[in-house]
Structure 1
Amino acid sequence: MVPKAAERAAMEGRIREGARRLCPSNDTVSWFLERATPRQMAAVAGLVDHELSVREANRRNRLLRKAAFPAVKSIEDFDFADVKMPEGHGTADMRSLQWLESAQDYVFYGQTGRGKTHLVIALGMLCIAAGKTVRYFSCAQLVLMLQKAQEDGRLDTAYADIGRADLVILDEFGHIPLDSKGAKLLFQVMSMSYETRSLIVTTNIEFSRWGAVLADDKLAAAAVDRIIHHGRLIEFGGNSRRVEESLMLGNTGRKR
């Protein structure tokens, strides 16, 4: 018999209230399985599957918000034609995320507009799809954030928050020279990531000039030493993708 509207509403209320409070024990699950009809089991199995998919989607959305990417990028849309990979390490290795499990690093080096930021975000999104925690920062943004945290007496908390990530992305290293205080704050992120989590740095500055960016040759040498130990250099060549797609210059504006 189909319950009356009031009875159904009351039962829905009981189910919703119980669901908010409930995490079934093994005893309860066994009790249900011993007594349930096939149709009841199918209904509950559907409920469980749906709940798990919703939780997974919510978790990935939280990870995506936490990463704070400036845009959404896909590795499927990236053209590797002008990217020089290191010997013995190809795009399949990059996609496998084995480097992430081993806390290995990348330095993406190339002039502006060659696709470094696109690829680093795309890799970050692959990591999120695998359930990993990612933090994206432009270097200038990160230094400003750390300086504010230091002024407010929250620097240790800020470093601890970054330290919970599986992958830290430092984009646009070298675009803006740093003073000695800012350089030390940024170096601390690089140093604490060494052998504990993966780090990807995008830059248009060769290693020999990192001292000019960090305002200290010794600090730069220490940063480079840590990154190259378990890292790989990926070189980006070709023409500027922004120029090739520029409407101002009379191009179609369509991405390759």
Structure 2
Amino acid sequence: MNSSYSKLIENLEYLKLSQMITHLDETIDFMNHNQLSFAETLIKLTDYEIDMKQINMVKSMVKVAAFPHLKEVKDFDFLFQPSINKEQILDFTTLRFIERKENIVFLGSSGVGKTHLATSIGIAAAKKRTSTYFIKCNDLILNLKKAKLENRLEARLKHYAKYKLLIIDEIGYLPIDAEDAKLFFQLIDLRYEAKSTILTTNANFKSWGDIFQDPKIANEILDRVLHHATVINIVGDSYRLKDHIQIENKKS
């Protein structure tokens, strides 16, 4: 038994099955006490390894997505922002909108929780092993401009187009010149009716012509973004300042 046990440990180490090594003794005890078959014992033992691999895969997916923080839906204070339909946000986390290749646009003034909600949906997607990537609009534009200068724009566009869910944050915070607007349009056009995109913006759609400094391109972008989209218009106080506001309310 000892030689067989040692050989088994040696084999598991060679195969780098660390969870099976960790849980080997307790699984053997469980097998003996419950008269499990060999197959049942092997299933129980391999489940430990699979569970850990899935946990690590989720961590990897979340890391690759480049989220600015790891705030989830459960961390959002819906009571502070009553204009937001909590059930609707929870429905987004089922990822049905991704299956339908639909978009989401979070519209509202600075600090109302747009990025938090967009990220929380992204984390839900990454946890379900859906390829997801988060990027601020200005960084996206800079990356596309750089790729164009280096004659690798097509490859860069394909890179951003491949994600099942792309989150583009802070559209409208910085102006985008007409040439850069064309780069942005190319990406939106590539993803149109093929993949889902979440956008956050502080600018109403009428002002997008000014943001992109080309009303025609702005309309083409909006046409593709909004064709299959849910727009969440958040009306309320700054979510970032809610703790300060609550303190002031208690004082008064």
Residue of structure 1 equivalent to 2:144:
146
SS of the equivalent of 1:168 reads strand
Report if the CA contact (8 A) 1:85-1:233 is conserved: no
C-alpha deviation, 1:211, in angstroms: 1.0
Residue of structure 1 equivalent to 2:94:
96
C-alpha deviation, 1:209, in angstroms: 0.6
C-alpha deviation, 1:114, in angstroms: 0.3
Tell me which amino acid in the other structure corresponds to 1:12: I
Residues in 2 aligned to 1:215 and 1:97: alpha-carbon distance in whole angstroms: 34
C-alpha deviation, 1:44, in angstroms: 1.8
Structure 1 residue ranges without an equivalent (≥5): 21-36
Tell me which amino acid in the other structure corresponds to 1:2: N
SS of the equivalent of 2:203 reads coil
Residues in 1 aligned to 2:169 and 2:16: alpha-carbon distance in whole angstroms: 43
C-alpha deviation, 1:56, in angstroms: 1.3
C-alpha deviation, 1:103, in angstroms: 0.6
1:12 equivalent in alignment to 2:9: yes
Residue of structure 2 equivalent to 1:172:
170
1:159 equivalent in alignment to 2:157: yes
| RMSD after superposition | 2.6
Residues in 2 aligned to 1:163 and 1:84: alpha-carbon distance in whole angstroms: 32
SS of the equivalent of 2:231 reads strand
Residues in 1 aligned to 2:199 and 2:88: alpha-carbon distance in whole angstroms: 18
Residue of structure 1 equivalent to 2:240:
242
Report if the CA contact (8 A) 1:166-1:198 is conserved: yes
C-alpha deviation, 1:38, in angstroms: 3.8
Over 3 Å counting, the alpha-carbon distance change for 1:99 and 1:38 in structure 2 is: same
Over 3 Å counting, the alpha-carbon distance change for 1:11 and 1:233 in structure 2 is: closer
Match of 1:231 among 213, 229, 232: 229
Match of 1:192 among 178, 187, 190: 190
Residues in 2 aligned to 1:94 and 1:15: alpha-carbon distance in whole angstroms: 41
Residues in 2 aligned to 1:117 and 1:72: alpha-carbon distance in whole angstroms: 11
Report if the CA contact (8 A) 1:105-1:199 is conserved: yes
Residues in 1 aligned to 2:76 and 2:16: alpha-carbon distance in whole angstroms: 43
Aligned residues: 229
Over 3 Å counting, the alpha-carbon distance change for 1:40 and 1:189 in structure 2 is: same
Report if the CA contact (8 A) 1:109-1:234 is conserved: yes
Residue of structure 2 equivalent to 1:3:
3
Greater Cα shift, 235-244 or 192-201: 235-244
Question: CA-to-partner distance for each residue in 1:201-256, whole Å, 9 max, x for gaps?
Answer: 1001111110111111000000111112101110111111223334xx8949xxxx
C-alpha deviation, 1:169, in angstroms: 0.6
Tell me which amino acid in the other structure corresponds to 1:147: K
Residues in 1 aligned to 2:177 and 2:219: alpha-carbon distance in whole angstroms: 16
Tell me which amino acid in the other structure corresponds to 2:14: E
Residues in 2 aligned to 1:233 and 1:85: alpha-carbon distance in whole angstroms: 11
Over 3 Å counting, the alpha-carbon distance change for 1:127 and 1:11 in structure 2 is: closer
Question: CA-to-partner distance for each residue in 1:78-103, whole Å, 9 max, x for gaps?
Answer: 133435469xx834432332111101
Residues in 1 aligned to 2:197 and 2:82: alpha-carbon distance in whole angstroms: 19
SS of the equivalent of 2:175 reads coil
Over 3 Å counting, the alpha-carbon distance change for 1:72 and 1:15 in structure 2 is: closer
Residues in 2 aligned to 1:232 and 1:73: alpha-carbon distance in whole angstroms: 22
Residue of structure 1 equivalent to 2:215:
217
Tell me which amino acid in the other structure corresponds to 1:158: R
The TM-score, its normalising length taken from structure 2, stands at: 0.81
Over 3 Å counting, the alpha-carbon distance change for 1:239 and 1:190 in structure 2 is: same
Tell me which amino acid in the other structure corresponds to 1:225: D
Report if the CA contact (8 A) 1:106-1:232 is conserved: yes
Match of 2:112 among 104, 111, 114: 114
Residue of structure 2 equivalent to 1:24:
none
1:206 equivalent in alignment to 2:189: no
C-alpha deviation, 1:46, in angstroms: 2.6
Structure 2 residue ranges without an equivalent (≥5): 18-34
Residue of structure 1 equivalent to 2:29:
none
